[in-house]
Each structure stands twice: as structure tokens, then as C-alpha cells.
Amino acid sequence: MLLYGVPLSPFVRKVIVSLKLLKINYELKPVIPFELPKDFDRLNPLRKIPVLVDGDLTIPDSTIICLYLNDQYGQQYELYPADPKLKAQALWFEEYADSRVMEVLGPPLFLERVVKQRFKKQPADEQKVEKTINQDIPPVLDYLESHVPVSDYVFDTFGIVEISLGSQFLNARYANYEIDPLRWPILAAYLERIWQEPLFKECMQVDEKLLSS
């Protein structure tokens, strides 16, 4: 099984954690989002990572990949709840993480402070960053504060909701953004529980090496 992408991508990280949680062996094929090979269209015509290749099956998009992994290999551990109503809720939180959370933490924060500064050697647009921090991020945190649990995880066990949200907010931490635990105590504690999971710690060790190189 081949996974195309880079570990610092929150979408690739989502798949990596899912693969490890399901105890699936895989090989990571490094593909940088801003330097995609010319023939990458054959893997994903949208030219986005991650892409998973399992035998003769090629699957783009992290959500579709994780659903496939769960349905095909989730005999011992399930990423999504089996109950249709709970599964629908899990898919919603995953979508919220991949879309709205990504919108406020990705391009205007991680891209500015990490990708541009560390990898492109360009200055960050701190005016854009501050606007994002002061205006755009708080409503997202308010929503999540009212929906994540005070203890444990959304569906009791560690699953796709935690993997999705934890991956996005970890990149915000790399961009030197920390959630105010006084204003959003439930969310801040919830994310800390996620990052204490052994599989997330493994990912963070890999990230540390990439960010320090």
C-alpha cells in the first residue's frame, strides 16, 4: 500500500494516523503540495494530496481514503461509529475540520508562518495572521467548544473526529498559535488529550525533524 503526500499536511497526517490505528503496513511516497510532479494527474486530477494506492485501486481525498480503510480493514478497530446516525455525525465533524477549520488555520496561519517562512524563505504577512487570529478563528473555536466532550472523546473512543481535528490544530500549534485555555477550556483540554495519544506523539516526532531540518 502506497501513500502519496508529506507528513506535515494535516490531510496526510489524518491518513497516516488512521493507517497506524488500523495496523496497516504502508509506504510513504513523498510528494510536496507546491511541487507536484507533472504526471500526478494520473493519481488525482485535482492535483491534491493525499492519494492512496492499494493494489490496483487508487483513491484520492483523505475522507474517502479513511472511509475505505475503515470499511476494508476495520475489523479490529473502527474509525467511524457503526450506527448510521453516529457515523453521519462523525462525517460532519470530519468535514468541518477539513473545510472550515482548515480555512482559518491553513492558508492564513500555517502557510504564512511555517510554509512561507521555513520552506520558501519569505516573510509572513502578519497583518493577515492577526486578522485571522482576532476575527476568523474565535467563531470556529466557539462552535467546537460547545460540541466536544469535557472528558474522553466525541464517541467515547479515539476515532476519525479526533484524528481530523487534532491534525488541523497541530499545524496551528506549529505556527505558534495556542488556544486560550481560559476562553475555550473544554476544547483546549480535548486537543491536549488527542495529542497525548501515542500515534499522535509519533507523528509529532516526525514533524519535529522536518521542521528543524
State which amino acid sits at residue 89.
Q
How many Cα atoms occupy the beta-carbon half-sphere of 40 within 13 Å?
20
Domain boundaries, the chain: 2-73, 84-212
Using one digit for the tens of pLDDT, what is the confidence trace for 11-43? Answer: 999 999 999 999 999 999 999 988 899 899 999
84-212 has which fold?
A: Glutathione S-transferase Yfyf (Class Pi); Chain A, domain 2 (1.20.1050)
Using one digit for the tens of pLDDT, what is the confidence trace for 160-179? Answer: 999 999 999 999 999 999 99
pLDDT > 70 in the chain, percent: 100
Distance of CA 80 to the CA centre of its chain: 16
> What is the biggest distance separating any 2 CA atoms in the chain, rounded to whole angstroms?
50
Domain 2-73: give its CATH code: 3.40.30.10
Look up the pTM and report it: 0.96
User: What is the torsion angle, in degrees rounded to the nearest 10, for the CA atoms of residue 193, residue 119, residue 45 and residue 11?
Assistant: 0
Cα–Cα distance for residue pair 11/126, rounded to 1 Å? 25
Q: What is the mean pLDDT of the chain?
A: 96
Q: Do domains 2-73 and 84-212 have the same CATH topology?
A: no
